[in-house]
Amino acid sequence: MAVWKCKHGSHPYSEIESDCLINAIQEYQELYESDSVKLMVLAEDGKLDGVCWLNVEVEGQEGVFVSRLYRRSIWRGGGVKSSWRKERTIIDVAKELDWKGDPSELLKQWEGEGQWK
């Protein structure tokens, strides 16, 4: 296991113990999921998925890594306001992340990414 120092925005570095860089970035995002940019998307099976992204910097690594997590749960209308329900498009997400590529790439399966079940 290695120790990776990760951060986002103006947050200080946090030490994440993980077997590889990619897992460390994902574990870091799970810790700071509330800071992630979120979007509700309609999955192929017709259910709603929550997708969230976070720009993560890793000490000793060049550039910023965009981490992505998926969440599936029961979504209810009315009552409690949720950060997942904020009206935004994938174009809005791309702007918030300062994503330079095609915004649709944020939703496509990335190289080396596991299957979402």
**What is the pLDDT at residue 96?**
93
The average pLDDT across 3-18 equals 96
Q: What is the DSSP letter of 46?
A: S
31-65 CB burial, b ≥16 within 10 A, e <16 = ebbeebbbbbeeeeeeeebbbbbbbbbbeeeeeeb
Give dist(CA 41, CA 38) in Å, integer.
10
Give dist(CA 71, CA 62) in Å, integer.
29
Q: Within its chain, how far is the Cα of 75 from the centroid?
A: 19
Q: What are the domain boundaries of the chain?
A: 2-106
Digit-coded pLDDT (tens) for 27-69: 999 999 989 998 888 777 777 788 999 999 999 999 999 999 9
How much is the pTM?
0.82
If 0-12 CB within 10 Å is exposed, 13-18 middle and 19+ buried, where does residue 67 land? Answer: buried
Beta strands 14-18 and 48-58 are unpaired
**What is the pLDDT at residue 41?**
82
